[in-house]
């Protein structure tokens, strides 16, 4: 059975990084964008990282420009924005695609393990769904991720155990991370 440890990704400089390097840690893998309405998620993500990294937790940040061109810069520009505006210290990787024929294999795997189940209820969630549906129409059955700041929780054995859409309250995400760290 495959795990996230079977994948290799690119760091910000284009070097290969085996996710096996993170074996034994609880991971939160996130596709991000610097110009998105959910960009403020960087604040609670960084706070969670600072609080929990010494307990075996890592956040892996993958910028993606497939959602309304909300991550237009190169890796260095994106990294500078995140570190200067939000003080992020967790690992940030090369920009990638999460949907379509060019989707990074890691994200195709993550989304296959934990498929999209909806944005939830409420007017904000319904309007995001409409915008997401329009944006993802071109990807058909390869629209693995529906919007920026989708988060995948991975246990210490490399198994994908939860998916959090950007509309999920970050307190809920943190509670799930803490529960997994406590196992």
What residues are annotated to the active site? 36
The position carrying tokens 């944006």 is: 135
Selection from 158, 162, 164, 159 nearest residue 23 by Cα: 158
Selection from 89, 90, 75 nearest residue 34 by Cα: 75
Tell me if 78 sits within 8 A of 31, measured CB to CB: no
Q: How far apart are CA 61 and CA 151, in angstroms?
A: 10
* Extended strands (E) in the chain: 8-10, 16-18, 26-32, 57-63, 151-154, 160-164
Q: How far apart are CA 138 and CA 175, in angstroms?
A: 35
């Amino acid at each position: 059975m495959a795990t996230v440890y079977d994948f290799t990704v690119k760091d910000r400089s284009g070097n290969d990084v085996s996710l096996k390097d993170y074996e034994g840690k609880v991971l939160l893998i996130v596709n991000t964008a610097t110009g998105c309405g959910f960009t403020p998620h960087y604040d609670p993500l960084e706070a969670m990282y600072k609080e929990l990294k010494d307990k075996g937790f890592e956040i892996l940040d993958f910028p993606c420009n497939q959602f309304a061109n909300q991550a237009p810069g190169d890796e260095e520009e994106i990294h500078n924005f995140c570190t200067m505006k939000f003080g992020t210290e967790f690992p940030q990787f090369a920009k990638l695609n999460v949907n379509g024929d060019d989707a990074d294999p890691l994200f195709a795997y993550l989304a296959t393990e934990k498929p999209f189940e909806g944005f939830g209820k409420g007017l904000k969630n319904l309007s995001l769904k409409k915008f997401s549906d329009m944006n993802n129409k071109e990807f058909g059955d390869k629209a693995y991720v529906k919007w920026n700041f989708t988060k995948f929780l991975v246990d210490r054995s490399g198994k994908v155990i939860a998916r959090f859409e950007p509309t999920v309250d970050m307190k809920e995400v943190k509670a799930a991370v803490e529960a997994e760290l406590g196992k």
